[in-house]
Amino acid sequence: MVLKVFFPSCCSSADSGILIGRWLSEQSSAVVLAVVHFPFIPVQVKQYLGEVQHLTKVSLSVLGSWSNSKQEKEEGLSEFLEDLGTIFSHEPWIQISKEGDSKFWSCSTLQKHSSSPKEEEVILVYYDQRKVMLSHLHPPLDTGDGRAEDASKLSAIFDTVARSRVLFMTDRYDEGPIKLTHWQSEGVEASIIVELLKQTSVPACMLFLLSLVSGICRSRVLKFWPLSFLWSKLSTCEQLGHRLQHLQVISSNKKAQTQTQLMRKANIFVSLLIDVALGILLMSWLYRKNRIGHLADTLIPVADHVAEELQDLLQWLMGAPAGLKMNRALDQVLGRFFLYHIHLWISYIHLLSPFIEMILWYVGLSACLGLTVALSILSDIIALLTFHIYCFYVYGARLYCLKIYGLSSLWRLFRGKKWNVLRQRVDSCSYDLDQLFIGTLLFTILLFLLPTTALYYLVFTLLRLLVVIVQGLIHLLVDLIDSLPLYSLILRLCRSYRLAAGVKFRVLEQQDGKPLRLLMQINPLSYGAVVQTYRLPTYSCYPKDSWASLCKKLFLGELIYPWKHKGEKQD
């Protein structure tokens, strides 16, 4: 039988004493947590372990003895250690001794209460107590090769060290009847400022602002039309609502129950902090050297240039585009209809031109709420400035869709079929001569008018897709800032042991007649696994249709709504 003893490397220079830890009988393992120095009173040690066990719910006991003595004192100390085994009566009693400056340690077991004691092979495993205590072990998936079972055994060791945090609150130099040696003997890890940041997630001065914004957003005014429509369709409102949920999470008084919830709070806090910092940098850049004034001055010429290009495109479509022969009457009607829309839009832009600089000046102030809010406002501005292109796309798509469904219905008429609305299927049907004549006439008219309508629909759909692609790139950047677990990535970069994917063992020394000495090292999670595990959810403004469904809708002329969110049904 092989006995595994996990010994903290920080106790290798501790004075002689007894070993405190947990015995894992199902794994034949002993996890040493601290060393109690001589002199001590056994009753006080038992009382102290009882108090710690009541707080941590971990069955702690005295596992054995630790000797860090010189050669001339070894005989008297060995007799005293045997007497300690009788007092604390743990089976098996582990004896670890460091012989002077030798690199080989002695580790043996005693079974004084057993009638037939057995010789056990001992493996001494060193571990970094501080790293194991602060680590969060991520078990791998059970693939059938035994990795999940090994991870469950390691999780018991990680859990024992993490839950025994109370035991590490007493330093070796603290006053008291019991003197301990553990990882804090080499210094406490965090400063006072870091510990305060762990306890409070937001400053107290933000609580009033959060309550005010939360009260406004929960008011019934936003539930009435058209405010409810604007709140659900504008990207800025969606982003503000999303960030409000984040603020409510990090300002909540409810304590995180699991490591995942704690990491989620930290990721949200860092994401908000970096988002606001980038927004303030953008705001300072905009208001420096009158860049907002230059932007307002260039907006009107750009709008005029886009209008001229659209007018030239419509003039080209009203002629003979690419040598195609179009239906002249329908072509002229559609062309003049769209030209009139462009004229109305340009008149509206010039009407707003005196107020554009003031509007941009106030819009630039919104960057202090975060870079994502500024990007969402930019997406809404693009949607408003290209609203005429969206109208062209809707008109063309509706007209094209009407003709496609009309042609498909008349095609069923020629085959003696009809669409059964109640049963949602195609049934056989007999038509008379008048119905066939009118159906043939309508089919011919729609078929010859289809190329003209299809060309307008194709051109404006491509323009609409261009605008949607630009907005999609902006929303991808917003989703990246919202969902990227920045705190976890920084933790993986600076302190990789905090996110453990497993452990590896390195042989320190091996000699006949001596216990095998191993060093347990932590394998950190990969960066891809960190992003996948701690990625934050977003509201995601992109269509959830597949590519095949999207192409089918474009071919049939059905409208594509890029603002539809997850969980919503498209009309």
For residues 373 and 475, state if they share a domain.
yes
Find out whether 275 and 372 touch, Cβ atoms under 8 Å.
Answer: yes
pLDDT at residue number 45: 82
Find out whether 162 and 154 touch, Cβ atoms under 8 Å.
Answer: no
Q: Rounded CA gap, 85 and 430, in Å? A: 102
Chain-centroid distance of CA 69 in Å reads 52
Rounded to 5 degrees, φ, ψ at 427 are: -115, 165
Nearest alpha-carbon partner for 91 in 193, 163, 3:
3
For residues 197 and 182, state if they share a domain.
no
Q: Rounded CA gap, 51 and 38, in Å? A: 20
For residues 562 and 454, state if they share a domain.
yes
For residues 370 and 448, state if they share a domain.
yes
Residues near 37 by Cβ (< 8 Å), separated by ≥ 6?
A: 14, 15, 16, 17, 172, 179, 180, 181
pTM value is: 0.73
3-class secondary structure, 124: strand
Nearest alpha-carbon partner for 502 in 204, 154, 20:
154
For residues 166 and 232, state if they share a domain.
no
For residues 383 and 245, state if they share a domain.
yes
Find out whether 153 and 147 touch, Cβ atoms under 8 Å.
Answer: no
Query: Does residue 246 form part of some domain?
Result: yes
Last residue of a domain, one of 156, 186, 216: 186
pLDDT at residue number 76: 55
CATH value at residue 122: 3.40.140
Q: Using 70 as the pLDDT threshold, list the residues of the chain that sit under it.
A: 1, 69-87, 89-90, 99-105, 110-119, 139-151, 169-177, 185-232, 513, 539-545, 561-571
pLDDT at residue number 428: 79
Other C-beta atoms closer than 10 Å to the C-beta of 549 total 12
Query: Does residue 308 form part of some domain?
Result: no
For residues 124 and 200, state if they share a domain.
no
Query: Does residue 558 form part of some domain?
Result: yes
Query: Does residue 300 form part of some domain?
Result: no
Domain housing 359: 192-285+350-484+536-571
| DSSP string covering 399-461 | HHHHHHHHHHHHHHHHTTEEEETTTTEEEE----HHHHHHHHHHHHHHHHHHHHHHHHHHHHH
Query: Does residue 123 form part of some domain?
Result: yes
For residues 369 and 384, state if they share a domain.
yes
Query: Does residue 266 form part of some domain?
Result: yes
Find out whether 304 and 346 touch, Cβ atoms under 8 Å.
Answer: yes
Query: Does residue 523 form part of some domain?
Result: no
pLDDT at residue number 103: 58
Q: How many domains does the chain have?
A: 2
Nearest alpha-carbon partner for 40 in 72, 62, 11, 71:
62
